[in-house]
Amino acid sequence: MKTIIQGKEEISKTDRAYIEINLKNLCHNVKVLQNAMPKKCELMAVVKAEAYGHGAFYISKYLNKMGIKSFAVATIDEGIKLRKYGIRGDILILGWTCVNRAYELKKYDLTQTLIDFEYAYELSRQGVAVKAHIKIDTGMHRLGIPCEEFLNVKKVFSMKNIKISGIFTHLCCSDSRNPEDIEFTKGQILSFYNLIDILKASSITIPKLHIQSSYGLLNYPELNCDYVRAGIALYGVLSTPDNDTKLKLDLRPVFSLKSKVVLIRSVKKGDSIGYGRSFTAKRDSRIAILSVGYGDGFPRNLSCGRGSVKINQHIVPVIGRICMDQLAVDITDAGDVNCGDIATLIGAEESNVLSAPVVADNSGSISNELLCRMGARLPVRIE
C-alpha cells in the first residue's frame, strides 16, 4: 500500500516528490460517466496497476464509499489486495490466473475471466467452485474463446465448478473514428450479440453482458450492456491529446505529479549539465534541481527539452538527461524561484502543456502508460 499523506504542511517539509489526487474530480467523473450510460448499466471501475498509478487503496475505497460495487483488476494479487483493503462488491480479474490458485479465488470471492476453453476446463478441474466471466474473442485475438466456437462456450456453462456471472468481449479499435475501424468495431459487436442469440436459442440463461471500456462508451454510447469497464475516463483523461470522440464528456483529471526544488545553482555559459554532457548552457543560467526522476515514473525520454514543468506559473524546460532520481530545469527566465518551491510535472488543473495526454504524447506514449508507471515509489496526497 502506498503512503498516504494529508495536509500541505507535511508535504512541503518532507516530501521530495508526490502524487496529488483530486477526489472531487474523481467523484465528478463517476457521475458524468454514469449519466452517459443506460439506466440499468453499472460502472465497473478498472483499478488495475494501482488504479493507473493513482493508488488503488484510496481510489477504490472512495469509489466503494460512493456506491461503486464493481471493480476490475488485472491480477489475482491486485484482487486480494482490494479485499484486504476492505473493498466490497464484485472484483473481476481481467487476466490470467494460475489455476492452482482456485482456492484463493474462492476465499477472496474474486471473479476470474475465462481466457479460453481449455483454461475454463482446467480451472473447473481444480474442484473448487469459482465465479467467472467468459471472455469472447471477437477480433482482438488476445484473450477469449473465439466467437465462432459457440459449442465450446455452451460447454463452459455446464462445467461443474464454474459459476458464470458474466460474458464479455473487448473492442480493439473503439478509440478510432476512422470509418474502417468503425466498421470493424461494429463487426465485433455484431459477432458478440450473434453468439448471445445462439446461447439464448439453446435455453442458456444469459449472464451479465459487457463490451465497452472508456472509448467503447465514448464512441458507442448507444450499446445497452450491464457494465461499462471504465479505466482511463474514470481518471478524467483521454489516451492522446487530439482524440475525437462521438460523446464529448466533461471529464476532469484526477492526477498531478509534483516535486520539490531541492537546489538552485548558477552555471556559466559553456558549462554542461548532467550525464553525457548533453546540455551546454548558451548563456549564464540559473538551474533548479527537482527531486524526481525516471525511477518515480517520469519518462526519461522527456530529457533535453522534450519535457517541461511549471514553477510559480512559469513553464520551464527540462535540460540535460533525466536521471533516476533527479532532473534539472532552466529557471533563468522564471523569476524568483526558491528552494522548497513546488514544481508541477503533470497537472490535473492544466488543460494543455502539462496535461497527462500531452506529456505522454511528448514521451511517445499514451496517458494510460504514463500514469500507471507512477505506482512504485511516490507517496500519494489526497486533495
Q: Kindly state the cell numbers that stand for 54.
A: 493513482
Specify the residue for cell string 456453462. Answer: 157
Q: Which residue is nearest to ligand PLP (CB)?
A: 231
Quote the CA–CA distance of 227 and 208 in Å, as a whole number: 8
Complex with ligand PLP: residue 236 or 297, whichever CB lies closer: 236
**Cα 313 from Cα 354, distance rounded (Å):** 12
The residue (of 72 and 102) whose beta carbon lies closer to ligand PLP is 72
Show the CA angle centred on residue 307, arms to residues 304 and 309, nearest 5°.
Answer: 120
Catalytic option among 48, 81, 131, 258: 48
Catalytic annotation present for 48: yes
DSSP percent split of the chain into helix, strand, coil, nearest 5: 35, 25, 40
Binding site for ligand PLP (CB under 6 A): 46, 48, 94, 170, 213-215, 229-233, 368
The verdict on whether 8 is a catalytic residue reads no
Shortest Å, Cβ 48 to ligand PLP: 6
**Which of 8, 200, 246, 275 is the catalytic position?**
275
Nearest approach, Cβ of 113 to ligand PLP (angstroms)? 8
Shortest distance (Å) from residue 178 CB to ligand PLP:
18
At closest approach, how far in Å is the CB of 227 from ligand PLP? 10
- Nearer to ligand PLP among residue 309 and residue 370 (C-beta): 370
Residue 293 phi, psi (nearest 5) = -155, -165
Residue 142 vs 277, nearer CB to ligand PLP: 142
Alpha helices in 172-289 (DSSP H): 179-201, 214-219
Alpha-carbon Rg of the chain, whole angstroms?
A: 23
Q: Could you tell me the smallest distance in angstroms from the CB atom of residue 141 to ligand PLP?
A: 14
Distance CA 332, CA 278 (A): 18
8 A C-beta contact, residue 370 and residue 359: yes
Between 213 and 326, name the residue whose CB sits nearer to ligand PLP.
213
Measured from the Cβ of residue 95, the count of other Cβ atoms closer than 10 Å reads 16
Catalytic positions: 48, 275
